[in-house]
Structure 1
């Protein structure tokens, strides 16, 4: 004769287990929408920065005093640049977090891909904050040029003409999406877009013409964010 005894020993008998995953089809796309906003805001800010051109214009180039005087007519462009690039930085942080989560769901748990991709995009948000770091000083200084040393105006012109485009690390996000595609975790066209535009962004950043990465990175960001909004239905249904 044998006796069988069944016992249970829950750690907390008064707490019931809740759901560990979202219901199918409810995964938020807010992070991807933030990516679209970041792309458009960065493009608007970068275009506005192009109008702060005293340091490059033929009639003022090389003349610190003339460059400083030209800032008086560039206050609107400087303000649009600052608001645009700062808003883009904030939105890019959200996109970086969402992208890292999306890749983590597609790649092996011990893969470095999501961390590298998310960190690269996040670092670019920091670059954009620094790109606008001098704006307050010169927006207000342009209305009182006697308070500024003329040579600093030339430095500012080169700063806003170069730093906003130093987006090399965004390319790591594109390469991360390509890695996810290789594992079957992202749409094929998004993976190939990441390889092409992300890889080109990294290569341009490494080269001495790193500011040209601003164009390819903005295009990758816009296309990829839209792709995850409209072309990632299979993943959202299984999330």
Structure 2
């Protein structure tokens, strides 16, 4: 009898509140990317006349090592946040897309590609930091080449454009996300595509970081069921 009573006792169901940490990570990644866009050129902001002479060009960067240290930290932070955002975005889309659909995986893959390139760029900045600390022991041509990579690789957020495109398709085709976010994602995707169609690939950072910021904030603040 006691057993039957116990078995028949209703247990209140725990409130299944959506977790938004992954979305916040996306917004942080985007804001960090915007900071990189504004901050990183300070290292190589020298007289253009020096660009033809690597020795003088590198000498002009002497004393700016702190920029590289900060850049490395920001790059790693953005990469880590993008990886978390990728996992959460995949789960979010998979819950609303047909089983076996490619869009969730494509969205995650694009962000992971961007995160990987950020880590590579952060690694370049580490090497460049130590070279500037020991200029007398380094080759100016090598340092100048590293500076060129520093100013290019971490800015190529083309992978995030792929993610934005996946979100746009998911929203416009099946309302898996809000329509306004789908349209915004489409616009950002087109801007990223433009940067990849001309020799300005590094400018992908601007629209891609803006997209990550807006998409992350949108997912973090959305009501349950938005886009269904």
> TM-score normalized by structure 2?
0.87
Are 2:219 and 1:228 equivalent residues in the alignment? yes
Kindly indicate whether structure 1 or structure 2 has the higher relative contact order, using CA contacts under 8 Å at least 6 residues apart: 2
Q: Distance in 1 between matches of 2:57 and 2:184?
A: 40
Are 2:60 and 1:70 equivalent residues in the alignment? yes
Which runs of structure 2 are paired with 1:177-188 in the superposition (5 Å)?
A: 177-181=167-171, 182-188=173-179
| 1:71 positional shift | 2.5
Q: Distance in 1 between matches of 2:60 and 2:49?
A: 10
Is contact 1:67-1:153 (8 Å) kept? Answer: no
Q: Per residue, is there more helix in 1 or in 2?
A: 2
Q: Distance in 2 between matches of 1:214 and 1:69?
A: 28
| 1:165 positional shift | 1.5
| 1:235 positional shift | 2.3
Q: How has the CA–CA distance of structure 1 residues 48 and 108 changed in structure 2, closer, same or farther, with 3 Å as cutoff?
A: same
Which runs of structure 2 are paired with 1:1-239 in the superposition (5 Å)?
A: 23-24=15-16, 26-53=17-44, 57-181=47-171, 182-230=173-221, 232-235=222-225
- Structure 2 partner of 1:9: none
Is contact 1:92-1:122 (8 Å) kept? Answer: yes
Greater gyration radius: 1
> TM-score normalized by structure 1?
0.83
The alignment's C-alpha RMSD in Å is: 2.0
Is contact 1:168-1:206 (8 Å) kept? Answer: no
Structure 1 runs (4+) deviating above 6 angstroms are none
Q: Distance in 1 between matches of 2:38 and 2:49?
A: 21
Segments of structure 2 that go 5 or more residues without pairing to the other structure are 1-12
SS in structure 2 opposite 1:134? Answer: helix
CA deviations on 1:114-167 (whole Å, 9 max, x unpaired) are 111110111100010011112222212212102210101211221121112211
Aligned residue-pair number: 214
